[in-house]
Structure 1
Amino acid sequence: MTITLSPYDYLILLVYVGFLFWIGLRKGDADDDYLLAGRRLTIPLFVMTLVSTWYGGILGIGEFTFQYGISNWFIFGFPYYIFAFIFAVFIIPLLRNHRYSSIPDLISQRYGQKPGIISAVLVSVIVTPAPYLLIAGLLFSIILPGNFLFWAVILLIVSTFYLYKYGFKTVIQTDVLQFIFMFAGFAILMSVLLKNFSFSGDILPKLPKEHTQLTGGLSWTYILSWFFIALWTLVDPGFHQRCLAAKDSRTAQRGMLISIGFWAVFDALTLMTALYGRALLPDADPLYLYPLLAEKFLPVGLLGIFYTGLIATVMSTLDSYLFISGQTLGYDLLAHWRLRGKSTRYYVRWGYAITGILSLVLIWLIPSVVDLWYTIGTLIIPALILPVLMAYGKRHISSNRILISMGGAFLIPVFWYGISFFTGKGYPLGIEPFYPGLLWSLLVLFPAWRKKPVENKGER
């Protein structure tokens, strides 16, 4: 499948890519800037980097809406607003009570080195840039020669290049442009569609009945699994990193609440355009719904802005997750075997290489964005959620108990998932893998949680 862009459209995309390279060549600072941008993020920068980072799976959103209608918002929007609000109100005030640079660093301080290493492995999986490499590769492969895997490799090199010198500072600077492009692109497409077609008169009658129902014809057990996977928000390393990089807790808290509003606006734009696409292009490939819709209805120039916005939406998440995964593998794992005279960024750069190779392998094995999200969330979240949340409290929990909790909460879902994969008969007892993993973690950690709190020596 190919999308035809004019030279003017390609020029807009070229300017965007050139800007990324220009930022990558600018002067940078010390290691604290490399990891957390000097802990000086203001509200506007905080909002733009947080909002733009959250939407890398844009083709998957179009595909899911095409197939299941407004249940896309009910599954991928609504629960995340709730947990983001909980994060803002209850977790952010606790963040500054701990001096740490990442979730594995927090786990190490509270529970010991071994749980920290295990959490670093788990976090490196949850922030794998694989889904976003896949989408970015697909977007470039339909406008330029080469398959998606070829372009995934090229974009991995590009992202690594502009992150290589200055790390998180580069992520923040590129996210500003990407924020502008992603909103401008979808606002333009939505405006053109609204001008030419009435939603109630032209679109709604053409939509399948279940597309206007919250469940979209999906089972409640499946939907509930996605609601639990939305707990991802509470342990998302990107959230923690940006809150730690904010200049103070109030900035992070207000920025998070404002971000929820922007997420709601962008969700409305992506949902409505996908519903228009479902009605106007019923025979389209669902995965490429947005590019096909834009190609058909946008003129030269505006098509270039939209397509660049589509790519910017993915790249904002790709570079953020590449950086966090590189930081996790490099700073939180490799740095335990320090080489004399080597800086933090030395290890993070090795992390880029490792996570890049692993991500390419992952998209080769599971070439589906939604499947990657579901698999990663189902297998990893049960092991992380309770240890991370309890780390902010004052109750003492032994290192061994945390290891037993994390190990079982990961291995049980893997076993559950493996039975379904190899037998092809569905999950045991019809239960999604997430639930037995979370239940194990609850059973192991709840007795410790009930004990009397002690003074937390990790706080300041």
Structure 2
Amino acid sequence: MLNELKTISYFHWLDWAVFFAVLSATVAAAVYGIRRLNKKQAAKPAGALDYLLMGRQLTLPLFVATLVATWYGGIFGVNEITFNYGIYNFVTQGAFWYISYLIFAFFITDKIARFKSVTLPDLTGQMFGPKSAKVAAVFTFFYITPVAYVLSLGMFLHMVFGIGVLPGMVLGTLFTGLYSAWGGFRSVVFSDLVQFFVMCSAVLLVVLFSVGTFGGLSFLKANLPASHFTLTGGNSWLNTLIWGFIALSTLIDPSFYQRCFAAKSPAVVKKGILISTFIWFCFDLCTTAGSLYARAVLPQAEPGQAYFFYAIQLLPVGLKGFFVAGILSIILSTLNSFLFIASNTLSFDLLRFRVKNIVLSNRVAIFLVGALAIFMAHIFHGSFKEIWLVLGSYFSACLLVPILMGYLYPGRISDRLFVASSLTSAATMTAWRFIPKHEVLEALDPFYIGILTGLIILLIFRQRGGTPIARITYR
């Protein structure tokens, strides 16, 4: 097999037919969402709640499909980690996260159900106060800006059509932004439904054909480094555990909360998360196994692209096109959600009292967010691991502890204390990155400094009593 290839040269007309059929189905689903929104507006003018959260009418099947589909946009990043470190990917991008999902389902779902919130910063404001909402909105905005997913889409279009990565990012983001902006959350959800089935089927096909062609575990052990079968993959335990804390960011993840706020009931949320966790487990097994085969067969390939090129050469005619459509579905399903949520954060949480038409400002914000994501992808030099670690660690270290303590001790974290804790955590993390340190301390990631700083501040200054902030409902 070749380490790099032109995908077009491997495509039969049948592959193109399958690929464009799946793409057409995605567009049709998004258009259906637009028509549903327009029909509802014709009967009764739809407000911000209907545009942003589908009127809180998300059913269990749609909840599961959109939640699962949203979670895997960084497929090339996952492939890169597996290629370099083996099953370390399943630990850091899988096992840690399953624990967080279960915690959310059993301990967080009922707590957030008491608040009729629209976004995570909105919930934060109801729990702590207006200044906390603004601080949470800033951290949320940069965390949810889809840098890795815009980059993934650019890489995808480059590998399939030979388009440059930068033009690919621009064209792909424009396409995604158009249908997300026009149909709102409905378009996101219905397109996710199509993408969910395609992406799950695509990664399963790669595993089945890999085992049938090369054999099972014995083949992998004979052709991969021994470190690829260790839990840390050669990384330190401190660096491995950082991913565990980042996984806990699920407990405050904006896309998770958006789906929960949109669901018809807390029961839908709890059942949906449990079903989704099982699907995620199966999906992670497939992507990790497929990437291990790619490393074994194409050891000299580019880590982030090896899985893609491996599958193109492995699968028969027709299924190549389906696989490529599956990879596109994985990327688009996350990109559209993150674009939409980041624009919600900008228009609803940061500019709500400065603009009259939240729906219109949200539509404009989607394209501003897309432009920012493209710019930030250049700043990080295209490193998925660096993008996730930096943005994820700041978001988690600065917001995770105060929000969780707000659940555990309602009313004891004041608006001012929340702000002080979050900003001080961010400041100490940034300082730790640049100050000279003893070589023993070099291994201590800034994330640990930030989360410890915030925890100490909250424990020392939290109120002994107190009452929860008055809840506000936005319609």
Instruction: Tell me the TM-score range normalised by the shorter chain.
Output: over 0.9
Aligned to 1:394: 410
What amino acid does structure 2 have at the position aligned with 1:408? T
The answer (yes or no) to whether the contact 2:85–2:227 under 8 Å persists in 1 is: yes
C-alpha displacement at 1:3, in angstroms?
A: 2.1
Aligned to 2:126: 109
Equivalences for residues 339-378 of structure 1 within 5 A: 342-366=356-380, 367-378=382-393
Matches of 1:100 and 1:351 in 2, distance apart? Answer: 20
Aligned to 2:444: 431
The answer (yes or no) to whether the contact 2:343–2:363 under 8 Å persists in 1 is: yes
% same residue: 33
Alignment equivalent of 2:458, drawn from 438, 442, 445: 445
What amino acid does structure 1 have at the position aligned with 2:307? Y
Matches of 1:378 and 1:143 in 2, distance apart? Answer: 33
Q: Deviations over 1:1-58 (max 9, x none)?
A: 5323233222322233333433444321423221111211121111111111111111
Residues 455 and 67 of structure 1: is their aligned pair in 2 closer, same or farther, counting only changes over 3 Å?
closer
Alignment equivalent of 1:3, drawn from 7, 12, 15: 7
Matches of 1:429 and 1:368 in 2, distance apart? Answer: 21
2:420 aligned with 1:404, yes or no? yes
The answer (yes or no) to whether the contact 1:335–1:347 under 8 Å persists in 2 is: no
Q: Which SS does the other structure have where 1:247 is aligned?
A: coil
Matches of 2:188 and 2:16 in 1, distance apart? Answer: 24
C-alpha displacement at 1:390, in angstroms?
A: 3.2
What amino acid does structure 2 have at the position aligned with 1:7? W
The answer (yes or no) to whether the contact 1:379–1:414 under 8 Å persists in 2 is: no
Matches of 1:297 and 1:410 in 2, distance apart? Answer: 46
C-alpha displacement at 1:427, in angstroms?
A: 9.5
Aligned to 1:233: 250
Equivalences for residues 286-305 of structure 1 within 5 A: 286-305=303-322
Aligned to 1:283: 300
Equivalences for residues 86-101 of structure 1 within 5 A: 86-101=103-118
Aligned to 2:162: 145
Where do 4+ consecutive residues of structure 1 move more than 6 Å? none
Residues 399 and 312 of structure 1: is their aligned pair in 2 closer, same or farther, counting only changes over 3 Å?
same
What amino acid does structure 1 have at the position aligned with 2:456? L
Equivalences for residues 14-413 of structure 1 within 5 A: 14-25=20-31, 26-27=34-35, 28=37, 29=40, 30=46, 31-338=48-355, 342-366=356-380, 367-392=382-407, 393-413=409-429
The answer (yes or no) to whether the contact 2:425–2:453 under 8 Å persists in 1 is: yes
What is the aligned-residue RMSD (CA, Å)?
2.0
TM-score by length of 1: 0.94
Q: Deviations over 1:79-120 (max 9, x none)?
A: 100011001000001111112101111122232222211211
Unaligned runs of at least 5 residues, structure 1: none
Matches of 1:337 and 1:386 in 2, distance apart? Answer: 30
C-alpha displacement at 1:155, in angstroms?
A: 1.0
What amino acid does structure 1 have at the position aligned with 2:470? K
The answer (yes or no) to whether the contact 1:12–1:304 under 8 Å persists in 2 is: yes
Farther off after superposition, 384-393 or 233-242: 384-393
Matches of 1:148 and 1:398 in 2, distance apart? Answer: 46
Matches of 1:24 and 1:297 in 2, distance apart? Answer: 31
Unaligned runs of at least 5 residues, structure 2: 41-45
Q: Deviations over 1:114-140 (max 9, x none)?
A: 221121111011111110010111011
The answer (yes or no) to whether the contact 2:59–2:268 under 8 Å persists in 1 is: yes
The answer (yes or no) to whether the contact 2:126–2:472 under 8 Å persists in 1 is: no
Matches of 1:291 and 1:277 in 2, distance apart? Answer: 8
C-alpha displacement at 1:289, in angstroms?
A: 1.6
Residues 162 and 378 of structure 1: is their aligned pair in 2 closer, same or farther, counting only changes over 3 Å?
same
